[in-house]
Amino acid sequence: MPESSATELVHLDVGDAVATITLDSPHNRNALSRQLVAELFERLEAAAADETVRVVVIRSSGRVFCSGADLSEASTEGMEVGARRIVALQRLIVTMSKPVVVEVGGPVRAGGIGIVAAADIAVAAEDASFALTEVKLGLAAAIISLTVLHRMNSRAAALTTLGGEVFSGTDAAAYGLVTSAVPADRLTEEVAALCASLATGAPQGLRESKRILNASLVARIDAGGEEMAALSASLFASEEAKAAMTAFLTRTS
């Protein structure tokens, strides 16, 4: 049964200068529902405002990191607002004054890969799985192309975007999508050590270094965000995509 809107889907914990943001919406595999995106915004903004925080980690409570757009919502309500909100989410991660690290221990699909690409550092389990599945549903990786194409090399981007097939954490590291891939049983330990190291940076140094590193990515999002959001919304509204989403939801219900 779906959880009620009163149930918190994104948790924030702060300790040792690290803000840990945990996606916890198992009923839809951490899909980017309106509620989850809104809460993720709130937790990121809270971490940004907390002077004790120097590093932010985004992780998931269960095996699945994020299954992408909430197709139940998209198939009934469209993506006019949702697409723009996900563009804004990526921009928030990129422009925060503190480094953002993602910990990917399991499957991540479609829109969820935009979060991975927006983060400054991404560490994945070697056996984590990734897929840009939009092409299978008559869609395109439009809004997340703003960050994904900034990270991945062009040949890998063509292969994964046009093919829509599953690739591993090890592949994701080779493609440039994630920073590194490690054995699954070492993932949490590796991320903790990385965050401890990052937290030794001075706030001003972290802020200005990140601003320099991400200047071209911010410009890319600002230049193409509205166009990609409009394209995404129009594709979700197409008859081809509606039929594909209905068939997918019927198979998985």
Tens of pLDDT, residue by residue over 199-231, are 999 999 999 999 999 999 999 999 999 999 999
Strand ordering across the sheet containing 108-109: 108-109, 129-131, 167-168
Question: What percent of the chain has a predicted confidence (pLDDT) above 70?
Answer: 98
Q: Are strands 18-23 and 10-15 parallel, antiparallel or unpaired?
A: antiparallel
Q: Are 90 and 144 in contact (CB under 8 A)?
A: yes
Mean pLDDT of the 146-154 span: 98
Among candidate residues 145, 118, 32, the one with its CA nearest the CA of residue 81:
32
Mean pLDDT of the 42-66 span: 97
Q: What is the pLDDT of residue 165?
A: 97
CA 83 to chain centre: 13
Please give the model's pTM, rounded to 2 decimal places.
0.95
Q: What is the pLDDT of residue 4?
A: 44
Q: Are 181 and 206 in contact (CB under 8 A)?
A: no
Q: Are 44 and 21 in contact (CB under 8 A)?
A: yes
Mean pLDDT of the 183-197 span: 98
Sign of CA dihedral 195, 198, 200, 205: negative
- Residue 15: which H helix or E strand, with range? strand 10-15
Can you tell me the distance from the alpha carbon of 221 to that of 187, in angstroms, rounded to the nearest whole number?
Answer: 30
Question: What percent of the chain has a predicted confidence (pLDDT) above 90?
Answer: 92
Can you tell me the distance from the alpha carbon of 155 to that of 161, in angstroms, rounded to the nearest whole number?
Answer: 10
Strand ordering across the sheet containing 180-182: 10-15, 18-23, 55-60, 100-104, 121-125, 180-182
Q: What is the pLDDT of residue 251?
A: 84
Among candidate residues 40, 94, 55, 53, the one with its CA nearest the CA of residue 225:
94
Q: What is the pLDDT of residue 1?
A: 35
